[in-house]
């Protein structure tokens, strides 16, 4: 059944089983673009925002305690996921997110009225009191971004870093060939190689933390253009304090609301740190799959878990699928970074109108990185084992240990020693003795890999 809903443009008809109203219905009809819906993280953040705004309005005497409590009840249902089917709008809508703001306002009002058994709430006059889409959407997207990073991404990052720390600590004595430019280099401990991966994640975490500040500044209270028209004095700080209390994160009122409405630089900075993490994950995953290549005709220095058959035609083949998934996620995040940068450079005068696409890309990056790290950790990194025999065999064959002879016989003679050993198929010690540069015993003592790491 359909019911009539009225807005300033007239009457539209809405599925009677739904709580949304006329403006949501118009958006559904006018923006049937793509399959990408407004991210659930935005909806959850908006529910917290609307609850906090109602608390602030009640405290400031512009909304009754009864209405504030009713709004809070519905927002609680939204936060619990009980009304997920009520938010059907696409990302590709107005650039200010107005339709999504009204979607929340209408659902909260209609569900609240159902709970009250009377028409207690108006979507604009009550649920949206002291607010505008132009300040609530940029506030909600900052909240969603910060919450996603804090509650989802950083725990996954910490888990992966912890697994690498365990791997590093478990094999402190294994020495292997280092590689630079895809060529043999001087020896390195396996634990030292892993420490480089671990430190990448730890540094990425610090970069993310350092670039979160802008996401905590909420322009809520700026209303339409940043002046705060129709918002009571003190609403911004009261609402931000309530949001901080509800989320446990250090959200504050943006000191300059004009900046908060017109600029997305906080997302550029924060996502830049996510891109740095993606770049590190790409490097780590590529290193792991190359070192695990084989099992007989590749490098084969690592064994990784065999999770599923790798080929529909080659029996027994197992591929580094977790590494491949991580690298695809890294590529997507790098593409998202470009989109966010372009979005932040757009918009005119008092409002950036590329906000939904910015929010969508940021939240997708945070979600993908978190999920990819958790999967990579569980299904690959936690099961990595070094192939000590392969590492030892490569170390014995390496010619770049000759670098340790430089201080003794000089660079030129050391180069001739390596060339002779390669050409004649002998060891470095044998080559040094054959060329008369030093005895075999002296060379073996100098070429001890343990002294080079």
Residue 99 falls inside a structural domain = yes
On whether both 122 and 270 belong to a single domain, the answer is no
Residue 279 has pLDDT above 90, yes or no: yes
Residue 231 falls inside a structural domain = no
Rounded to an integer, what distance in angstroms lies between the CA atom of residue 277 and that of residue 174?
A: 28
On whether both 28 and 105 belong to a single domain, the answer is yes
CB neighbour class for 71 (10 Å; exposed up to 12, middle 13-18, buried from 19): buried
Residue 347 has pLDDT above 90, yes or no: no
**Bridge partner residues of 180 (DSSP):** 183
CA atoms lying within 13 Å on the CB side of residue 294: 15
What pLDDT does residue 152 have? 98
On whether both 27 and 158 belong to a single domain, the answer is no
On whether both 260 and 303 belong to a single domain, the answer is yes
> Which pLDDT tens digit goes with each residue over 369-388?
999 999 999 999 999 999 99
What pLDDT does residue 237 have? 98
Mean pLDDT (the chain) is: 97
What pLDDT does residue 184 have? 95
On whether both 166 and 295 belong to a single domain, the answer is yes
Residue 104 has pLDDT above 90, yes or no: yes
On whether both 305 and 416 belong to a single domain, the answer is no
CA atoms lying within 13 Å on the CB side of residue 178: 17
Rounded to an integer, what distance in angstroms lies between the CA atom of residue 89 and that of residue 103?
A: 8
Residue 53 falls inside a structural domain = yes
CATH code of 368's domain: 1.20.200.10
On whether both 120 and 146 belong to a single domain, the answer is no
On whether both 334 and 413 belong to a single domain, the answer is no
> Which pLDDT tens digit goes with each residue over 124-146?
999 999 999 999 999 999 999 99
Let me know how long the chain is. Answer: 453
Pure H helices in 37-97: 40-59, 65-79
Residue 4 falls inside a structural domain = no
Rounded to an integer, what distance in angstroms lies between the CA atom of residue 118 and that of residue 182?
A: 73
**Bridge partner residues of 195 (DSSP):** none
Residue 367 falls inside a structural domain = yes
pLDDT band per the 50, 70, 90 thresholds, residue 326? very high
> Which pLDDT tens digit goes with each residue over 221-267?
999 999 999 999 999 999 999 999 999 999 999 999 999 999 999 99
Residue 218 falls inside a structural domain = no
CATH code of 405's domain: 1.10.40.30
Q: pTM, whole model, 2 decimals?
A: 0.96
pLDDT band per the 50, 70, 90 thresholds, residue 314? very high
What pLDDT does residue 56 have? 98
pLDDT band per the 50, 70, 90 thresholds, residue 304? very high
Residue 21 DSSP one-character state? -
Q: Kindly state the average pLDDT of the residues 73-86.
A: 98
Residue 45: which domain range? Answer: 17-129
Query: In total, how many domains does the chain have?
Result: 3
Residue 431 has pLDDT above 90, yes or no: yes
Rounded to an integer, what distance in angstroms lies between the CA atom of residue 187 and that of residue 179?
A: 9
Residue 61 has pLDDT above 90, yes or no: yes
Residue 180 falls inside a structural domain = no
Rounded to an integer, what distance in angstroms lies between the CA atom of residue 437 and that of residue 424?
A: 16
On whether both 360 and 446 belong to a single domain, the answer is no
Please confirm whether the linkage preceding 295 is cis (ω < 30° from 0).
Answer: yes
What pLDDT does residue 45 have? 98
What pairing do the DSSP bridges indicate for beta strands 217-218 and 252-253?
A: parallel
On whether both 370 and 416 belong to a single domain, the answer is no
Rounded to an integer, what distance in angstroms lies between the CA atom of residue 326 and that of residue 316?
A: 23
Mean pLDDT lowest among 82-91, 188-197, 419-428: 419-428
Domain boundary among 129, 145, 179: 129
Q: Which amino acids are annotated catalytic?
A: 181, 311
Question: What is the full DSSP assignment across 334-390?
Answer: HHHHHHHHHHHT--BTTB-S-HHHHHHHHHHHHHHHHHHHHHHHHHTGGG-EE-HHH
CATH code of 76's domain: 1.10.275.10
On whether both 266 and 359 belong to a single domain, the answer is yes
On whether both 121 and 156 belong to a single domain, the answer is no
What pLDDT does residue 148 have? 98
3-class secondary structure, 331: helix
Residue 65 has pLDDT above 90, yes or no: yes
Question: What is the full DSSP assignment across 218-279?
Answer: E-TT-TTTSS-TTS-TTHHHHHHHHHHHHHSS--EE-S-HHHHHH--HHHHHHHHHHHHHHH
Residue for token pair 């200010």: 96
Domain boundary among 385, 408, 433: 385
Residue 37 DSSP one-character state? B
Residue 110 falls inside a structural domain = yes
């Amino acid at each position: 059944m359909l019911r009539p809903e009225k807005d300033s443009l007239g009457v539209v008809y809405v599925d009677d089983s739904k709580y949304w109203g006329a403006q949501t219905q118009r958006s559904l009809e006018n923006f049937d673009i793509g399959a990408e819906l407004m991210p659930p993280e935005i909806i959850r953040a908006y529910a917290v925002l609307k609850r906090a705004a109602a608390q602030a309005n009640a405290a400031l005497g512009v909304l009754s305690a009864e209405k504030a409590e009713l709004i809070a009840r519905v927002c609680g249902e939204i936060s619990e996921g009980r009304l997920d089917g009520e938010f059907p709008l696409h990302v590709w809508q107005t650039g200010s997110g107005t339709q999504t703001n009204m979607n929340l306002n209408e659902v909260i009002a209609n569900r609240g009225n159902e709970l009250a058994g009377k028409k207690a709430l108006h979507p604009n006059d009550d649920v949206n009191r002291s607010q505008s889409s132009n300040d609530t959407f940029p506030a909600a997207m900052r909240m969603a971004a910060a919450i996603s990073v804090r509650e989802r991404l950083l725990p996954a990052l910490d888990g992966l870093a912890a697994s690498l720390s365990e791997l590093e600590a478990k094999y402190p004595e294994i020495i292997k060939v280092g590689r630079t430019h895809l060529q043999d280099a001087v020896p390195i401990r396996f634990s030292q190689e892993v420490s480089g991966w671990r430190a990448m994640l730890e540094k990425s975490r610090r970069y993310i933390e350092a670039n979160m500040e802008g996401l905590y500044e909420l322009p809520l209270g700026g209303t339409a253009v940043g002046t705060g028209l129709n918002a009571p004095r003190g609403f911004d700080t009261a609402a931000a304090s309530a949001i901080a209390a509800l989320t446990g994160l250090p959200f504050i009122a943006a000191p300059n609301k004009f900046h908060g409405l017109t600029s997305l630089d906080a997302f550029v900075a924060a996502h830049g740190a996510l891109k740095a993490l993606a770049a590190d994950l790409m490097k780590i995953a590529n290193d792991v799959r190359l070192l695990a290549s084989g099992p007989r005709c590749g490098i084969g220095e690592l064994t990784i878990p065999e999770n599923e058959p790798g080929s529909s035609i080659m029996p027994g083949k197992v591929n580094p699928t977790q590494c491949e998934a991580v690298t695809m996620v890294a590529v997507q995040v790098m593409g998202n970074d470009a989109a966010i940068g372009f979005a932040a450079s757009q918009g005119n005068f008092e409002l950036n109108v590329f906000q939904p696409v910015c929010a969508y890309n940021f939240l997708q990056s945070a979600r993908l990185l978190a999920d990819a790290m958790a999967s990579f950790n569980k299904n690959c990194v936690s099961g990595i084992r070094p192939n000590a025999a392969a590492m030892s065999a490569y170390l014995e064959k390496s010619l770049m240990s000759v670098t340790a002879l430089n201080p003794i016989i000089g660079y030129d003679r050391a180069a001739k020693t390596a060339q002779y050993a390669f050409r004649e198929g002998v060891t470095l010690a044998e080559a040094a003795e054959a060329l008369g540069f030093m005895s075999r015993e002296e060379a073996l003592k100098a070429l001890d890999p343990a002294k080079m790491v």
